[in-house]
Structure 1
Amino acid sequence: MSTATTSPAPDAPSQWIALADNDVSLDYVDKLLKPTHDDLWVSVACVDRILEDATVQKALLNLGVQRTSSSIMRAREAAAGVASDEDEGMGQTVEVDQRTRHASLLSYFAAEPADAQLCRIRAVLLERLDRLNTWVQICQEAPAEDEDEEDIIDGEWEDDPWADGDAAPTQASSKPGKAPIPLAGFLTTDLVETACALASQEHFAALRILVNRHGTTLWPYRFSILDCIPEYAPASEYRDLLPPYNPSLDAELMQTSNPWRGEVDYTETSECTRALEECRVPFSILSPTAGRRFPPTPTPLSTSELSSWYLRRIDHVLLSTGMADAALVLVQHAASQGVAGLDEVGEDLSLIARLVYDAPQGAESAAEDWSLERWRSMSPEDVVRAYLAHSTEASIVRDIQKLIMPFLFVLESRAERAGMPDPSLITRMLYDYILNAPLDIVAAIFEASKPTLTQGRRIIQDDEGMARIALACLYGSDKLDEWPTMSRIFECLPAWETPEDEEDETDETDTTIASLGDFVTPSTTRPRATPSDLLLFFKPLPTASLSRALDVLDVHLESGEILSRWSVPAPLRWFLQSNANISEQRSRANRMARRANAAEDQLDTQEDWEWLLDDMLKLAGSDEGDSRSAFCLLSRDDVIRIFFSGLLSTGNFDIAKKLLKSSGLHESLDHQVIEDICLTCSQEFYDNATSGNYHFGDMKLAYDCLDVPEPSDRVTQEKEFIEATSRLCSFNLMSRPGIPISPIEIRLTKDRLSLVSRVLSSNNDAYKHTEVILDLVRKLGFRNDVVAEVRTLAMLAETALQVEDFSRAYETSETMVNTVLLLRTSSALGTTDPAIQEASEVCWVTCFQLGRHPECPDAAKKLVLLGRALEFCPAEKLPDILAAWRTLEDEDIEQRRETFASRKRGGRRKSTPSRQRVTGADVAASLATRLQSMQMHIPASPDAAALASKALGRVAANIPFSFATRGRSYLAEESGRSRSGSRTRSDGTHVSEQASRALQKGIGWLLGADDE
């Protein structure tokens, strides 16, 4: 039963309830609570208030604990009152006593519900007091606040403030910091929740205090709390919170705690709490049950489970943050604790940390996510490439020594531990990287591997291996602009003494070059020989062969620099592939000579071109033939010809003339060779010209190029052809509608006289300039070609005839006839000469066309032309021409009669106008010649008319009336036309008779008989 106490002041409860939490102070506690004698009310008042003032909160908790002391004593006495002291040592009696004590306590709480409430309140007050002490200790170890901030507490608390329940706190010796959690929240929030919050905010000092003081409550949830620690937090800052390992038990070591109270209060014992729960004491202001949101782990983990947890934590840290150093510290801590199975993980993390923090990084490196799974899925070659992905020429040596070598040593030691040692692993991995690295990186590695360095400082320590990998890298490279870098690599290579016979050395060198050339030549199975492929080729070569290969490489590097200097670079493998291919060498030499102006420095002086010639001759090697040189298959004379051709192709003709006077070119190039080269270059300029005007552009170069050699017929002919081309283009000839004819089209035209025909047909007045057209024909390549001249005159006459300029047509025809006559008299072969036959064919056809033209008004000139046609035509065409002549003669006779009659009517006879006619002697001589060619006997008789009549009468019956040349349709019309003009066909007899009469009549006129 509770003892009676003095009642508090009548208004104390209402005043206390009216107070706000922020207004509660020690004075109110002393005035309103302490004088009150109702322990239950005072205890409820103390447990009801949660304040932020630690001093007032402590006073409330101490007052509440003090007021519940008597109730707990009564409950203990009620439970202990039925126990028998003499039976304490007997187990059964104790068991009966426990049941009895429990029943007695239940009975007591049922009878005294106030004491039951006080017992429940006391347990809550004691827990809050422990938390308050923990919060105060956390504040003491927190960082100090600024001086102007308010003190959270006024004094420093002892580790065990309950040593004397009434003792006042001592004055603080130093100003504490601010707690990471407000006091009210710390007192009421679940401890596990609080611990997780502190872990997530990295308040490790506060978390250590919390775990140390409340370890019994928090230990089952230790892994949930650790999982709340951010992955980026260094494990060194919370290593004492990580689960330790007990080697003796081969399991997790359970951590000890240091609670505020060494012994639990009776209200916290299972006997009291069980009785209170069964009595269902109605009290709701309790601390939340711990761990409802977190799975507990109440028992220690085994060594394998502990190792798995560490591995999961490490991988999660690495994957989520990429901070390999944080994961490495974590695994180092676990290894220091003796957790098994983490040695290899530690090695991997150490290597990953080197990759993340020590290796050069690119712009995209920060976005890379690394995990143990990704690391272990990579091949060693991939790891090496990842380490050196962003290495530079300046850093590559350090990166290999600090990053690659440790990684390769780890691989080597693991292979040895696995019982599969691999002595070549380091060399193989290093060579594989070098074979695929840029040349500047390779050069830096070779400079750090020179044979002059000590063995320990060299990256590549084997001289032969160094030579093999250098040959593979250089001949496998496609670079065209890194010759200085290649030379740096070559200068680092070893040199061996090979005292062998010089002839044998040459043979073996040639064999090596030929074999290597075949190896690097692309095939269907290997489109390109990679450095790795080439290393396989060089691997079996002995030292002597390697030394010779290096000598060849030296020559090739020098050749490559020369070609690059003149803007025609070639990869090193080209020197191997072209070693036996003269076409390749000639093509490269041509490009070198012709692309000189594409170099950075234009060759403007004679000295520059002499420098180019010296380089080209250097690439040709010696006169005996050096199989190592770039142009080894070309002779010195070949190179000089190629050089001179290239010089001309650049248009530097003045320099070419000066160089021709030098002894070197003069000895190698005779007049004929120079002429051939100049003609070839001129034709190239001509073919590339877009305009035919030879006063500018490529056509001017083509023309000026012909001034370099000494004058000759070929040179003159080519120059005239260029002039003719320029003149043809000036007539605006079209290749297609709207597209002017190009020079190359003029050169490719098979019948160049057709170009003259196009000029005449497209220009109305061109036919008037006979000499201009004839000069054009001569310059087109027909100089001294009488047949071409006759054909041209025929075209001029035909053009004049088409525009009805009969006078000019007659003059042109007359010139043509004189030309043919001159040809006939000057030819040694006579009329059997094909040229004479062709010229005569053109001449008589043209004369016949003009002589029978109906619009031509001058009958006398027409008769002359028909006479010339009769003179030059073949025998089978005579009837056709004579038929036209008879018609024209009849018309002329009729015209004469009309003229004579008009003169008679005029009363006086005028003199007959003179008329140009063919003399009888001329025609007789011509006919005699023609009849002799027909194997006819002509007696020597002064009567030319009788002779011609008799001769023509004998052959008239056998002359066919057909015409196979351009006058076919018109001649056929004339042969079928009668005197009256009808077009009826007659039988053969009638035609023969008519032809005979016509021939006799016509020949008589030609011989000079009277017209009347």
Structure 2
Amino acid sequence: MPHPSPTDWTELGDEDLTAEAIHDALDPVKDDLWVAAACVDRLSNDTTVQRVLLEMGLERTNMAKNRSQAASTDGGDAILSYFQELPADARLCAIRAVILLRLDRLNTYVEICKAAPDDMQGPKDAWEDDDPWVEAKQTATLAEPPIPLVSFLTDPLLRSTRLLASYEWFAAVKIIFDRHTTQLWPHRFVVLESIPEHANPSSYRELLPALDSSTNNEKFLEANLWRQNLDWVEQQEVKTVLADLNFSSPEAEDVTHSCRADPTTADELEAWYKNRIELVLETSGMVDVALELVQHAASQGIPSLDELGEDLSLLSRLIYDVTQDGNDVEADWTLERWHSLHPLAVVRAYLQYSTPSTVVQDLWRLVMPYLFVVESRAERAGDLNSDIRNRVLYDYILGVPLDIAAAIFEASKPILPQAQRIIQNNEDMARLALACLYGSDSLDEWSVMNSIFECLPAWDVNKDDNDEDAADMTVVSLGQYVTPSTTRPHCTASDLFIFFRPLPLTSLSRALDILDVHLESGEILSRWSVAAPLRWFLQSNSNVPEQRRWANRLARRGSTDDKLTSLEDWEWLLEDMLKLTSQGENGLRGAFGLLSQDEILRIFFSGLLNNGNFSIAKTLLRSRKTKISLSAQSIEDLCLSCSRELYDNANSGNFTFGDMKLAYECLDVPPLSERLQQEKEFIEATSRLSSFNIMSSRGTPLTPIEIRLTKDRLSLVSRVLSSNNDAYKHTQVILDLVRKLGLGNDVVAEVKTLAMLADTALQAEDFVRAYEASQQMIDTVLNLRSMHPDSRETQEASEVCWVACFQLGRQPEFDDMEKKLGLLGRALEICPPEQLHDILAAWRRLENEDLDSRKERLSSHQDLKANGRPKSRGIVPSLAERLQEFHLPSPQLLNTPDAAALASRTFRSVAANFPFGINRPQSVSQEDERASSRLLSKGIGWLIGADDED
């Protein structure tokens, strides 16, 4: 029989294969082996075409199979002999085995196409549920498997199954296991390993191993083979013979993977599930998937997974039920990390995003189940006295903000049923509240603190004096306990809970009474913007200086509060300050309980003044209903002290603005007294000094505090005269400045001031004002000498006076001879005896000059009368000659320098005893002899410090 021509089969393209084309090409061919081989050799991804090929090939192998089967009734040897004699039949039987295998897989593939995952199917419209043609439509639009038919027919079945498992075609995998159980059962665990760890176990639960409780081993999968009875060519002895003759099937299975044909034990299944769960958590972190895997295993009778299930259930709540910030989601939760956490850390993780409105619900929903599990495990481990639930819960409460704690205390009120309370022990509740409140640094949550206090239990405790004393001693000890130290710089709420834990009920009740007082005091301080943490009230309980310091803060900072705009507001502040000193119904005093009411009144009034509220201060003092019951002397002392404080803090001495203005006006609050008048004058003097812009040694203007601290206040006047060219012309102003500087009753200071004025005028060659100042100084000294001739002040004033008179009286440039003689005469009158000679010598020279001058004027007058013209000029001595005559040595002091040098030495000796000086820049002018002569002769300048540096 001739073979088909190439145009009939071999040249027939795959795209042209159809059932009709196949029959047209192969039906005429009578050679069964050639047709069967052609059907096996040709593959198509079209299920219809492929089925036609396989069925045609199977039909062409029937006769060979029947002949072989009939000839092999005697067993394997007969089969081998037959196949050796007729190799064509042997080949046809081998092809038949392949065709049968492919037919089974083709049937499986068709079912697989119908078992695509839901997300692989196209969306269905609502009306399709009632559409009678929907099944046909779905069949027509089935999703194609991720494996083409050709690969599925020829590749090892395990490889195809693993690929489908990796694509999560679990229904398809289940179909393969049902239809090819014998082939896949040994490789079931290999297939399961191919399933992605993130896949939901509920979608492949039918593939997971289960436990047979009757055998305590793994359950077998129920097979649903395409053919219950094997064909003759599929029997093992036939397959063996064909293999020996090299006619075995080319579709050999992949044997590179481990296999397990016998069922696994319960322990092995448990180990497999645990490994799978750890792998899921490690690779995907999806706790819900791991938890569902545990739940499935438990439902299948896998033992010893209860604790793991509990952990995963609790962990899943932490990951999925906790309200989290979208930017702060934990992504690395593992069982290893979970097991490493302390229970307190777990509780904090559960509640890390809880708010006051959700924390109670989160506690019941998340934390309580967890603590129940922890406590149950502790009991199972034999720890029956651990009380771990309360310990962990209490530790959490001690570390949360007050608003969170308040919500928990609200849910633990004693009026609630015991089972509905989070904190169920009343004494523990009081201890926790005391620790939380006194351990808090909050300054503005007084309403929250009060809400916590209102939740606490109240005990009707019979207290005797000993109990109260012991309780009060406990509070004293607590105050010392919360005071920072080098070993414990900050006392936490947990530290305080340790302190409160052993306290008996009596002490706890007393502590709550004290807490009530402290909360009220804290609200008062907070109202006036000087809030203190609650522990401060414990620390200051026996500390008078600390209470006084805080009372001053309240009076001063409170008085700057914007709310204090009226007299009523100030009266409210005073009422609150007095309330803090008063004793309550429980016998406890407020925050200022160690201070007397009189001291509180002083502190309040001082703060009122310090902030410039003088009109309100006057009103309070003059009101008949006033609570300021201070004596007039106390009020004056407070005003004076406040004024001086304002003065010292002032940046400018000008009393028309700023703190200096307040310092001045503060003195007008009480009735004017001599002390207040003196202080006002000193402020006026300070303002006058500031107007002269006196500079300090640093090159900056003198501050008020520097003026007050200047010991020698005449030096301030000296600086005024040296820094202002015209200041000396205002004698009365300068004297008034000296008086207001507090030297009004100091005659010596007045004399020194006049001496400085005279010297300054002399330096300016204003001899008229120099003489006037000197004359006023002489009158003052003479009056003092007449009243107190032997006093120290008289001697000091006289010393200054005669030196100043001698200085001006011997000046050559001062041409009023009569006044100069008068000044030298006063110097002779006032000076000590040992200075008489020098002054007398100068007086005589000046007198001789005066006689010569008079003679010259008389002679000139006579000549003028006689000749009508003046006498020759050569008869009048020149200025140089007069100066030379002035410096002639005195006959009584032959061994001394000239009179001028002697006077200079004398002035230096006297100046050493002067307590004042004038700061003046040193003159460097040397323009002519007259300037040099003037600098040489003016001793009073260096006498009072004209040439000293500042």
What band does the TM-score fall into relative to the shorter chain?
0.7 to 0.9
Residue 761 (structure 1) aligns with: 722
User: Residues of 2 paired with 1:40 and 1:751: CA distance?
Assistant: 139
SS in 2 for 1:668: coil
Per-residue CA deviation, residues 935-963 of structure 1 (Å, 9 max, x unaligned), is xxxxxxxxxxxxxxxxx9xxxxxxx9898
Per-residue CA deviation, residues 173-225 of structure 1 (Å, 9 max, x unaligned), is 97673342333333233322322222222222111101111222223332232
- Are the counterparts in 1 of residues 758 and 773 from structure 2 also a CA contact under 8 Å? yes
In structure 1, give the amino acid aligned to 2:93. C
Gaps of 5+ in 2: 126-132, 869-892, 894-900, 913-950
Q: CA deviation at 1:380?
A: 1.1
In structure 1, give the amino acid aligned to 2:617. A
Q: CA deviation at 1:447?
A: 1.0
Matched, 1:479 2:437: no
Counting aligned pairs with the same residue, the percent is 57
Residue 21 (structure 1) aligns with: 14
Residue 848 (structure 1) aligns with: 806
SS in 1 for 2:594: coil
Q: 2:145 aligns with which of 174, 180, 187?
A: 180
In structure 1, give the amino acid aligned to 2:39. C
Q: 2:531 aligns with which of 565, 569, 573?
A: 569
In structure 2, give the amino acid aligned to 1:31. D
My pick for the range that moved more, 50-59 or 705-714, is 50-59
Q: 2:769 aligns with which of 794, 808, 816?
A: 808
Matched, 1:393 2:359: no
Q: CA deviation at 1:581?
A: 1.1
Residue 836 (structure 1) aligns with: 794
Q: 2:418 aligns with which of 455, 459, 462?
A: 455
My pick for the range that moved more, 195-204 or 644-653, is 195-204
Matched, 1:132 2:106: yes
User: Residues of 1 paired with 2:141 and 2:717: CA distance?
Assistant: 117
Residue 817 (structure 1) aligns with: 778
SS in 2 for 1:672: helix
Residue 1004 (structure 1) aligns with: none
Matched, 1:104 2:68: no
Residue 53 (structure 1) aligns with: 46
User: Residues of 1 paired with 2:524 and 2:255: CA distance?
Assistant: 82
Count residues with an aligned counterpart.
Answer: 869
Residue 546 (structure 1) aligns with: 508
In structure 1, give the amino acid aligned to 2:426. D
User: Residues of 2 paired with 1:836 and 1:105: CA distance?
Assistant: 164
Residue 579 (structure 2) aligns with: 618
- Are the counterparts in 2 of residues 412 and 422 from structure 1 also a CA contact under 8 Å? no
TM-score (norm 1): 0.81
The within-5 A match list for 1:619-634 is 619-622=580-583, 628-634=589-595
With over 3 angstroms needed to count, the CA separation of the structure-2 counterparts of 1:815 and 1:534, relative to structure 1, is: same
With over 3 angstroms needed to count, the CA separation of the structure-2 counterparts of 1:623 and 1:379, relative to structure 1, is: closer
The within-5 A match list for 1:336-735 is 336-422=299-385, 424-501=387-464, 503-504=465-466, 507-599=469-561, 601-622=562-583, 628-663=589-624, 665=626, 668-735=629-696
- Are the counterparts in 2 of residues 877 and 963 from structure 1 also a CA contact under 8 Å? no
In structure 2, give the amino acid aligned to 1:813. S
User: Residues of 2 paired with 1:291 and 1:808: CA distance?
Assistant: 132
- Are the counterparts in 2 of residues 685 and 699 from structure 1 also a CA contact under 8 Å? yes
Q: CA deviation at 1:619?
A: 0.5
My pick for the range that moved more, 654-663 or 134-143, is 134-143
With over 3 angstroms needed to count, the CA separation of the structure-2 counterparts of 1:301 and 1:860, relative to structure 1, is: farther
SS in 2 for 1:42: helix
Q: 1:32 aligns with which of 11, 25, 47?
A: 25
Q: 1:322 aligns with which of 285, 292, 303?
A: 285
User: Residues of 2 paired with 1:146 and 1:885: CA distance?
Assistant: 135
Q: 2:731 aligns with which of 770, 774, 795?
A: 770
With over 3 angstroms needed to count, the CA separation of the structure-2 counterparts of 1:209 and 1:847, relative to structure 1, is: same
Residue 988 (structure 1) aligns with: none
- Are the counterparts in 2 of residues 195 and 207 from structure 1 also a CA contact under 8 Å? yes
With over 3 angstroms needed to count, the CA separation of the structure-2 counterparts of 1:667 and 1:64, relative to structure 1, is: closer
- Are the counterparts in 1 of residues 618 and 669 from structure 2 also a CA contact under 8 Å? yes
SS in 2 for 1:595: helix
User: Residues of 2 paired with 1:146 and 1:625: CA distance?
Assistant: 77
Q: CA deviation at 1:553?
A: 0.6
My pick for the range that moved more, 366-375 or 315-324, is 315-324
Q: CA deviation at 1:15?
A: 3.0
- Are the counterparts in 1 of residues 210 and 300 from structure 2 also a CA contact under 8 Å? yes
Q: CA deviation at 1:691?
A: 2.0
Per-residue CA deviation, residues 69-115 of structure 1 (Å, 9 max, x unaligned), is 2333444456x27x3xxxxxxxxxxxxx65x457536634xx62x44
User: Residues of 1 paired with 2:704 and 2:453: CA distance?
Assistant: 52
Q: CA deviation at 1:504?
A: 4.6
With over 3 angstroms needed to count, the CA separation of the structure-2 counterparts of 1:628 and 1:537, relative to structure 1, is: farther
Residue 36 (structure 2) aligns with: 43
Per-residue CA deviation, residues 527-553 of structure 1 (Å, 9 max, x unaligned), is 122112211222222212211111111
With over 3 angstroms needed to count, the CA separation of the structure-2 counterparts of 1:894 and 1:135, relative to structure 1, is: same
In structure 2, give the amino acid aligned to 1:34. D
With over 3 angstroms needed to count, the CA separation of the structure-2 counterparts of 1:623 and 1:218, relative to structure 1, is: closer
Residue 206 (structure 1) aligns with: 172
Matched, 1:236 2:199: no
In structure 2, give the amino acid aligned to 1:518. Q
- Are the counterparts in 2 of residues 877 and 962 from structure 1 also a CA contact under 8 Å? no
Q: CA deviation at 1:703?
A: 1.4
Residue 939 (structure 2) aligns with: none
User: Residues of 2 paired with 1:433 and 1:205: CA distance?
Assistant: 49
Matched, 1:748 2:709: yes
- Are the counterparts in 1 of residues 375 and 387 from structure 2 also a CA contact under 8 Å? no
SS in 2 for 1:238: helix
SS in 1 for 2:696: strand
Q: CA deviation at 1:874?
A: 3.0
User: Residues of 2 paired with 1:898 and 1:210: CA distance?
Assistant: 157
Q: CA deviation at 1:440?
A: 0.8
- Are the counterparts in 1 of residues 583 and 589 from structure 2 also a CA contact under 8 Å? no
- Are the counterparts in 2 of residues 840 and 872 from structure 1 also a CA contact under 8 Å? yes
User: Residues of 2 paired with 1:20 and 1:854: CA distance?
Assistant: 146
- Are the counterparts in 1 of residues 280 and 286 from structure 2 also a CA contact under 8 Å? yes
- Are the counterparts in 1 of residues 799 and 910 from structure 2 also a CA contact under 8 Å? no
TM-score (norm 2): 0.86
Q: CA deviation at 1:287?
A: 3.3
Q: CA deviation at 1:886?
A: 4.1
With over 3 angstroms needed to count, the CA separation of the structure-2 counterparts of 1:493 and 1:173, relative to structure 1, is: closer
Q: CA deviation at 1:381?
A: 1.2
SS in 2 for 1:14: coil
With over 3 angstroms needed to count, the CA separation of the structure-2 counterparts of 1:858 and 1:877, relative to structure 1, is: same
User: Residues of 2 paired with 1:222 and 1:280: CA distance?
Assistant: 30
SS in 1 for 2:317: helix
- Are the counterparts in 2 of residues 733 and 759 from structure 1 also a CA contact under 8 Å? yes
Q: CA deviation at 1:812?
A: 0.9
My pick for the range that moved more, 124-133 or 263-272, is 263-272
User: Residues of 2 paired with 1:572 and 1:833: CA distance?
Assistant: 65
In structure 2, give the amino acid aligned to 1:369. D
User: Residues of 1 paired with 2:450 and 2:163: CA distance?
Assistant: 65
In structure 1, give the amino acid aligned to 2:821. L
Structure number, greater radius of gyration: 1
SS in 2 for 1:695: coil
SS in 1 for 2:532: coil
User: Residues of 2 paired with 1:818 and 1:145: CA distance?
Assistant: 126
In structure 1, give the amino acid aligned to 2:500. F
Residue 957 (structure 1) aligns with: none
User: Residues of 1 paired with 2:850 and 2:311: CA distance?
Assistant: 124
